[in-house]
């Protein structure tokens, strides 16, 4: 399978990465090189094989559903590009 330029733009949009007109042909070539490389997986018989969901056999750890952390909003927002009163600021989303 290979991707055309419209698909490259659609993937970039889904991935929330802006691309310029000059980027698109490069990306198309690189993505198609990777897709051509993974094409050989089609020859493997995977009938009846379960997909891997756990790397090593282990039961998911569980704990009491309770508050175990928090109470330091200043630390949480410390690295944010724009904040006000311990809130993250974003451009207006709802008119």
Partner 1 sequence: MTNLTDLTLADARDGLQRRAFSAVELTQAHLDAMAAARGLNAFLVETPERALAMARASDARIASGDGRPLEGLPLGIKDLFCTEGVITTAGSNILKGFEPAYESAVSGNLWRDGAVMLGKLNLDEFAMGSSNETSAFGPVVSPWRRPGSDAPLVPGGSSGGSAAAVAARLCLAATATDTGGSIRQPAAFTGTVGIKPTYGRCSRWGTVAFASSLDQAGPIARTVRDAAIMLRSMAGPDARDTTCADLPVPDYEAAIGRGVRGLKIGIPKEYRVAGMPDEIERLWQQGAAWLKAAGAEIVEISLPHTKYALPAYYIVAPAEASSNLARYDGVRYGLRVEGRDIVDMYERSRAAGFGREVKRRIMIGTYVLSAGYYDAYYLRAQKIRTLIKRDFETVYADGIDAVLTPATPSSAFGIGEKGSGDPVEMYLNDIFTVTVNMAGLPGIAVPGGLDAGGLPLGLQLIGRPFDEETLFAASQVIEDAAGRIALPEAWWGR
Residues near partner 1, by CB under 8 A: 1, 3, 7-8, 11-19, 27, 30-31, 33-35, 37-42, 44, 46, 49-53, 55-56, 58, 60-61, 63, 72, 75-82, 88, 90-93
Three-state DSSP at 69 gives coil
Q: What is the smallest separation between the CB atom of 53 and partner 1, expressed in angstroms? A: 8
- Find the shortest distance in angstroms from Cβ 36 to partner 1: 8
Q: CB neighbours (10 Å) of residue 66?
A: 5
For residue 73, the SS3 value is: helix
C-alpha–C-alpha distance, residues 17 and 7, integer Å: 14
């Amino acid at each position: 399978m290979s991707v055309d330029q419209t698909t490259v733009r659609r993937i970039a949009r889904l991935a929330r990465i802006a691309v310029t007109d000059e980027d698109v042909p490069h990306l198309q070539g690189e993505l198609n090189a990777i897709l051509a490389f993974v094409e050989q997986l089609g020859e493997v018989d995977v009938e009846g094989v379960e997909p891997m969901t756990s790397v090593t056999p282990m039961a998911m750890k569980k704990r009491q559903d309770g508050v175990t952390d928090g109470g330091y909003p200043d630390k949480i927002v410390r690295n944010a590009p724009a904040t006000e009163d311990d809130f993250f600021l974003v451009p207006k989303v709802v008119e």
